[in-house]
Amino acid sequence: MGQLGSRVGLYDAATVRVSATGTIQVMTGAHSHGQGHETVFAQVVADKLGIAEAAVEIVHGDTSKIPFGMGSYGSRSLAVCGSAMDRALDKIIAKGKKIAAHMLEAAEGDITFENGSFSVTGTDKAKSFGEIAFSAYVPHNYPLETLEPGLEETAFYDPNNFTYPAGAYLCEVEIDPDTGKVTICSFTCADDFGNVMNPMVVEGQVHGGVAQGIGQALVEHTAYDENGQLLTASYMDYAMPRADDLPFYQVDHSCVTPCSHNPLGVKGCGEAGAIGSPPAVVNAVIDALHRAGMDHVDHIDMPLTPARVWAAMQA
Amino acid sequence: MYNFEFAKAKTIADAVKALSSGDAQALGGGQTLLPTMKQRLAAPTTLVSLNAIPEMIGVCVNDAGEVCIGGATTHATVAREAAAHYPALAALASHIGDPAVRNRGTIGGSLANNDPSACYPAAALGSGAVIKTNARDIAADDYFLGMFTTALDEGEIITEVRFPVPQKANYQKFVQPASRFALVGVYVAKYAGGVRVAVTGAASDGVFRWAEAEAALSADFAATALDALAVPGNDMIADLHGSADYRAHLVKVMTKRAVAAAA
Ligand SMILES: Cc1cc2nc3c(=O)[nH]c(=O)nc-3n(C[C@H](O)[C@H](O)[C@H](O)COP(=O)(O)OP(=O)(O)OC[C@H]3O[C@@H](n4cnc5c(N)ncnc54)[C@H](O)[C@@H]3O)c2cc1C
């Protein structure tokens, strides 16, 4: 990001600590407050190392334990912190190969790591990930002169570009002609988020984002009177979207164009729902009014409350 | 919240006595009063709870066929127990607030408070109910005196509300998007002697009867009977959630819908 002119490194960081028994703690700079990092990050680690997800613990949020990171925002956690984690895992594997080469009496360049196993290419000589981890911490047969014990690595990753997710959002509304009340009948989102590590978590991100966006489009409003007095100081006047304001969503991410510049090929998905939904809702309302012959309405300020829509219809 | 004393009355007489001393105030479900105290907008020295007075709780039908509801009966109980006797009233109660509010809030508290956006005032005025207190009977027509203002005297408590049961009735509530109180609520009830139409949420003086609509509907109980009528916007509330004209318009729309649903 520094290269793009941000003048700071918008990196993130991860430390991967393998224990003597082969279980793993990953300390991440990004914080999870409901996004599901604990699930998805563990999945990425488990996939890459060929071990069980249950053996991976994601540690976040405690600044006395984690490396200094930039945090969760801008739909960046997996793309940036996940990539840092991937880089740290590369270092773990590289060190594992050195240990395996010694144990298997082969050249480091001849070691392949696949499905949780270090093997001498083209032979059946192999050591499991757990055996390597054990050897790193109980270094009997170990090249102590040239290699430090332990299996723990940190990586900082500063992306050299943004990720570019793309999507299309379709909203269908009905407007009560007598009251101006907008009801959302259906809502469909299609997004290309690059590689999708966990479809359910990604859908959840989109659902939450769309709910937030519909709230913005239809109800949420911070209003002041002419003297600067806040009129929406409690939930009696500040409307939050509630479950019955929202439809069931159709979410699709069948179009996968992997990101070309991060190791996971992932793109941001956290903000897509909240970005795509307000214009979809507002355009649907304007379109519905046009279809009903009210061509003069081509703009209504959000939120599209019944009172505002009705007023626009009268104009 | 400031400190206060708490008294739990077992009889109406006990409650009246407890309320006569100092700066005491009746406590129904606390859904309005407790938030007000937390915001330090009210600071009674004593709260007298009415929730443990058996004679003030429950729904029954008297010999005159009226539905009688104890003043400390919760909205949830009315929704459940009045359904067989007065469905429109039970339906109204079942849409007040959320389950937590309905399980605490009481009819007496709602009518005593007379929030200009509350639902029960429309039912009481629309049904020509009688509000019984520890001291007297007050006809609904004489009871509502303006926003948050009623005919109740200091320390007077609503012990029961009597609803004559109409032939047909319906309540239509157009909700304010945030609070989900009535932005406009219209209660229409057809009795042998005529139709009553009570409107809540709309007017700055609180619940009111729409006389022209009552006359038109008494002659012809059909939504189309209202076509030629309009409510003037002068006395309507105008706020963030709707202009005076919008509310006036909604009064007619909701009245028509109530008639259509009742007919
Ligand atoms: C989130 C929320 C949503 C709500 N939504 C709605 C809605 O959609 N529609 C609606 O109509 N209301 C709504 N309400 C208000 C609700 O109906 C309350 O129950 C009602 O306003 C007050 O009743 P209460 O029993 O809680 O009274 P309290 O809060 O206990 O008392 C209110 C006032 O009445 C007095 N009082 C209480 N009982 C009596 C009595 N028997 N005789 C004389 N005075 C008495 C008290 O001294 C106090 O001044 C809502 C409230 C909340 C918190």
pLDDT at A315: 82
**A311 in contact with B at a CB cutoff of 8 Å?**
yes
**Location of structure tokens 């109409």:** B166
Q: For the residues B37-48, what does the mean pLDDT come to?
A: 95
**Location of structure tokens 């609180």:** B206
Residues B119 and B159 in one domain: yes
Whether A5 has a pLDDT exceeding 80, the answer reads: no
> How many domains does chain B divide into?
2
Beta bridge partners of A187: A171, A249
CA B117 / ligand 1 centre spacing (Å): 12
Over chain A, what is the mean pLDDT? 95
Torsion sign over Cα B111, B114, B118, B123:
positive
The pair of structure tokens assigned to B203 is 């007017």
pLDDT at A90: 98
Whether B21 has a pLDDT exceeding 90, the answer reads: no
**Which of A178, A231, A242, A309 best tests the B interface by mutation, with the highest count of B CBs <10 A?**
A178
Listed in sequence order, the DSSP H helices in B97-243 are 99-104, 107-113, 120-127, 140-143, 211-219
Q: Which residues of B touch A218 (CB under 8 A)?
A: 177
d(CA A99, CA A111): 10
Q: pLDDT of B84-143, one tens digit each?
A: 999 999 999 999 999 999 999 999 999 999 999 999 999 999 999 999 999 999 999 999
B144 SS3 class: strand
pLDDT at A8: 72
**A223 in contact with B at a CB cutoff of 8 Å?**
yes
pLDDT at B215: 98
Out of B178, B239, B242, the one facing A238 most closely (by C-beta) is B178
pLDDT at A287: 98
Contact predicate B226/B256, CB 8 Å? yes
Architecture in CATH for domain A166-314: 2-Layer Sandwich (3.30)
Q: Which residues of A touch B175 (CB under 8 A)?
A: none
Residue environment code for A199-211, b if the CB has 16+ CB neighbours within 10 A, otherwise e: eebbbbbbbebbb
Query: Looking at this predicted complex, what is its ipTM?
Result: 0.93
Residues B142 and B175 in one domain: no
Q: For the residues A293-308, what does the mean pLDDT come to?
A: 96
My answer on whether omega of the bond before A303 falls inside 30° of 0, hence cis, is: yes
**B243 in contact with A at a CB cutoff of 8 Å?**
yes
Whole-model pTM?
0.91
Domain ranges of chain A: 12-157, 166-314
Over chain B, what is the mean pLDDT? 97
Domain of residue B172: give its range. 168-262
Which of B132, B163, B194 is the endpoint of a domain? B163
Q: Is B198 in the pocket of ligand 1 (CB under 6 A)?
A: no
Residue A60 C-alpha, separation from nearest chain B C-alpha, in angstroms: 36
Q: Which residues of A touch B249 (CB under 8 A)?
A: 310
B92-97 contacts, C-beta under 8 A, 24 or more apart: B92/B119, B92/B120, B92/B122, B92/B123, B92/B171, B92/B173, B92/B187, B93/B119, B93/B120, B95/B119, B95/B173, B96/B120, B97/B31, B97/B180
Which of B145, B163, B181 is the endpoint of a domain? B163
Domain A12-157 has CATH 3.90.190.20: no
Residues B159 and B29 in one domain: yes
Which of B163, B188, B210 is the endpoint of a domain? B163
**Which of B115, B250, B257 best tests the A interface by mutation, with the highest count of A CBs <10 A?**
B250
Backbone angles phi, psi at B204, to 5 degrees: -70, -20
Q: pLDDT of A72-93, one tens digit each?
A: 998 999 999 999 999 999 999 9
